[in-house]
Amino acid sequence: MNNKVLIIDIGNTSTDFAVFENGNLKDFLGFFRLPLEINKAKEALNSYKKSGGFIDDGVIFSVVPNNDEAVQKLVKEVFDKDIKVFDWKHYKLAKKLPVIKEAIGADLLADLRQADVEYGGPCLIADFGTVTKLLQTDKDGNFIGLSFIPGIEISLKLFSQNTALLPEFNKFRVNKNRLGLNTFESMNHGIYYSTVYYVKEVFKNLKEPNTKLIITGGNARYIKDEFKDAIIDQELTLKGMYVLYKEMSK
């Protein structure tokens, strides 16, 4: 098994670069909006290499196929390594009930694998990314259900795209103490609490007793304080991707 592995998570909003050493997340090299920030990603990888960093292998986990080739070329240029794209559409999730017919995205597979390895079932994983995703497993770790709502950035954009007067905001700020007193505050307040109560209500009404709530994803930083008894694991997806990498390397 290789010692240093570059894990690349190509998401809809950003692409994360992280190096695992002997199974542990050793260096987080940054997150970048691709293709716009491909040069910044190149600078980060070159800076890591110049400081003595190297990789033995790597793998791309992607939900944006249009960015795959550019990232492969970037890794080849910086590290002289040819790395593969994880084939999530044909990955066979062992702990999956027959009712789940469709392929499950690379990021969701990683969440499920790491939750099973590290925490066990039953659990509800709340992954706050471009899309807010809830994944449920039973007591045996079987994947039994999934729910989506638009994430914070999508929700902010939908206001302006579907109304004549509401503006688009790129920055999300929360005022927890009162309703908004202007358009900006009102939009943020609504998005914040619709997201928080969505998770709380789904979690409250689960049929599986003793279910653990696991919070992860880039936008978890905005809402994690609302979930005092939850497991907060911002590295869940990346760690799960490393687990999947090990499986595909056997």
Do 97 and 218 lie in one domain? The reply is yes
Evaluate whether residue 249 is within a structural domain: no
Tokens (6 digits) for 84: 């593969």
Long-range contacts: 208-213, Cβ < 8 Å, 24+? Answer: 208/121, 208/122, 208/136, 208/138, 208/139, 209/122, 210/122, 210/139, 211/122, 211/123, 211/124, 211/136, 212/119, 212/122, 212/123, 212/124, 213/123, 213/124, 213/126
Same-domain pairing of 160 and 208: yes
- Whether residue 222 lies inside any domain: the answer is yes
pLDDT number for residue 207: 83
Model confidence, pTM: 0.91
- In this structure, what CATH number is given to the domain that contains residue 15? 3.30.420.40
Closest by CA position to 192, among listed 211, 177, 207: 177
Secondary structure of 23-53 in the HEC alphabet? CEEEEEEEEECCCCCHHHHHHHHHHHHHCCC
Greatest CA separation found in the chain? 57
One-letter amino acid identity for 30? G
Report DSSP letters for 126-139, one per residue: EEESSEEEEEEE-T
Final residue of a domain: which of 85, 107, 142?
85
Total domain count, the chain: 2
> Are 11 and 29 contained in the same domain?
yes
> Are residues 124 and 44 both part of a single domain?
no
Q: How many CB atoms lie within 10 A of CB 99?
A: 8
| pLDDT for position 1 | 53
Q: What pLDDT sits at residue 177?
A: 66
- Which among 85, 113, 140 is the end of a domain? 85
Q: 93 and 27, same structural domain?
A: no
pLDDT of residue 68: 97
Q: How confident is the prediction along the chain (250 residues), in pLDDT tens digits per residue? A: 568 999 999 999 899 999 999 889 999 999 999 999 999 999 999 999 999 999 999 999 999 999 999 999 999 999 999 999 999 988 888 888 777 778 889 999 999 999 999 999 899 999 999 899 999 999 999 999 999 999 988 887 887 777 766 777 666 777 676 788 888 888 888 888 899 999 999 999 998 889 999 999 988 988 898 999 999 999 999 999 999 999 988 7
Whether 213 and 139 map to the same domain: the answer is: yes
Give the domain extent around 144. 89-241
72 and 22 co-located in one domain: yes
